[in-house]
Chain A
Amino acid sequence: MNNDILVTQEIGSFRKPQYLSSVFRKTSGPELSRLKEKATLETLELFNRAGLDNIGVAGEMYRWEMYEHVAASLEGIEFFGPVRSFDNRYYRKGSVVSEIKRKNSFHDDELTFIMNNAARKIKLPITGPYTMADWSFNEHYKDKRELALAFADILNEEIRHLYGIWSKSKSEVFEVQIDEPAATTHPSEMDLVVESVNRSIEGIHGCEFSIHVCYSTDYRMLFEKGSELKLHGYNLEFANRDTNELGTGSEHRKAFAELKDYWDIDNTKFIGIGVTDVHVDYIEPIQLIEDRIRYAIDAIQDPAMIRVNPDCGLRTRSRDVGYAKLKNMVDAVKQIRKEY
């Protein structure tokens, strides 16, 4: 069995235990830190039990939400209240009212704790500069480009700081996932996506950088810019748009057809494929996940280039459902690895 192929990984967030979510905004100081640590250890145990190769940062127990966590660590951003994403799901969208500056590190406590407690591979997700700009109300900067580049400079500063912590005690490559769910929202702004993401990692060596994009209407526009993106891989959502029918034919795996574009256009980067939908409680059977992966292998022809993950963070599902989805994902990979 070849364990170096089809690396299984988390994308980012996982549902917080109730004892943490119920007090996250009401408590602070040592008590909140204690609960974050407790939740991280429990989630780490859950990920280990599911069998993930890469545990990310154990479900982002230190972050309330991917945008707000960063924005709240900056000067120049005000919050006027939550904004709806869909149904009754909200996020706090900040208004940039003056020049943005980094007040403090936004991930060093989380990274330090996970480094001290995880035995498996770690991947640090960090919200990308373009998404930060796209999800902010801009009342200050001349235009979106100026704002995105300002965020890029801040992220560059943060990643350098985190890499400094990492390299003091770890010899492995530092894996960083730039979360850019907004990357393909505005097709006319793809150049800005490339420019801002590249600027956020400019001059930082010794890391493996990937980009996470989800719910895109067309990944092709991303792949077409791939050669300009100074990254090592993609981690993308596919399952949400796929059918739940079994089969490895293109008629069953319509959502994964874009993998052929990836292979034709930009096959120098690894690709993490979303094989389980984070927006439904339906637990995809092992066979269905296997079929999705087999289709991907057929399209890409090199299983070493493929990583396997949920579409996005699993925070929208209960911990039980999230675990069941991850377990089936890992079991599906184990089945396929036996053949290599």
Chain B
Amino acid sequence: MVKIRSIEYGLYPRSEHVRLSISKWERNALDHKSLGKLMDAEKKEILKLFNKSGINFYTDPLINWQDILRMVASLSLDTPFEKISRYRETNTFYRQPLVESYPRLGEIREEESTPDSHLPGSMYVSDNSDHYMYFLPGIESFVSMSFLSPELNRERVMDSFLEIYLDLIKKHGMKRILLFEPYPDSHFYEGNWDIFGSAQVFYVRYGLTEGSFSERKDSGPFSLIASNEKEFDVAARHSEVPGIALMNSQNTYLENPEKLRKSATKMSSSLKLDEIFVTHTEYFDFLPHVIANKKVEILGKVGD
């Protein structure tokens, strides 16, 4: 019997209440502190929903990050943002970080929040459960998605982010980390995996091919999550427990949890695996809030 466990990660769609509250804040009809409190409270509610659904591992819903880079960019860059850019082949956009000097870990001050930077509220709200994973954008993606001043050395910029991540991992005591790499670029982590220490790492990397990433050795549990079935065998070869994105997060169609379980079981069995992680094809922010909630319920039924 294959053991199936489910994963939810990344930007989660905001509720109508949060969306309208942000609009109020943008019009100065709500202060930073009130919005920050509301954001943290809402995050806790979403984490409860994840937990109640039975999902095995989940990240912070990141509803105050604006996009996958925004909070880390605000934390580490002096004049963080360039213009908006299209996110992959979608109708969603992000603000391109502007890297004009080597990044260093700073502080986020709630009173300095602006709609163009980050929103008020904590970077992470953890429910302190064994299900919680800290979300970090992959460094390769961060740099690929940014505008780097020509005088900067790309490798050194990436190394600077590595230092920042190391500090963040220590500061938050991260035991489980979801590293999200939508724009993979190189073998950057070669020799650098040790920054994650003994933390369990779930690595969602698009475009997985044999040799497209550097193998993680001599450290904590590691799972590669393939974004489609064709790439699953690569994930399986390089993970203690591999993962596969089976739930469509870019369509409102509601999947049958039993069918997802069957697909996961079939894929694991064909490779003689005892365990598998199942997740969604992108983060859920591409869906209406109400549909994402339903997909969470379904995903919760997929895992054991």
Contact = CB atoms under 8 A, between A and B. Distances in A.
A95 B252 contact: yes
Interface in B257-288: 285-288
Given A80-B291, A93-B288, A139-B253, A277 B19 contact: no
Contacts of A86: 66-67, 84, 92-95
Contacts of B287: 83
Contacts of A84: 13-14, 92, 285
Given A80-B290, A81-B16, A87 B83 contact: no
A144 to B, nearest CB: 11
Nearest to B291: A80
A280 B116 CA distance: 10
A240 interface: yes
B115 interface: yes
Nearest to A140: B253
B86 A81 contact: no
Interface string A89-119: 0100101000000000000000000000000
Contacts of B26: 88
A259 B145 CA distance: 25
Nearest to B86: A215
B19 A88 contact: yes
Contacts of B286: 83
B186 interface: no
A217 B85 CA distance: 9
A134 B116 CA distance: 27
Nearest to B119: A88
B253 A137 contact: yes
Interface residues of B, number: 33
Interface string A258-284: 000000000000000000010110000
A79 B13 CA distance: 15
A22 interface: no
A87 B14 CA distance: 11
A135 interface: yes
A28 interface: no
Contacts of B66: 86-88
A71 B95 CA distance: 28
Nearest to B85: A215
B91 A279 contact: no
Given A81-B16, A82-B19, A88-B66, 7 more contacts: A81-B291, A82-B288, A84-B92, A88-B22, A217-B86, A279-B83, A279-B84
19 contacts: A80-B288, A80-B290, A83-B286, A84-B13, A84-B285, A86-B92, A86-B94, A88-B26, A88-B115, A93-B288, A135-B91, A139-B251, A139-B253, A182-B91, A215-B84, A215-B85, A215-B93, A240-B84, A241-B83
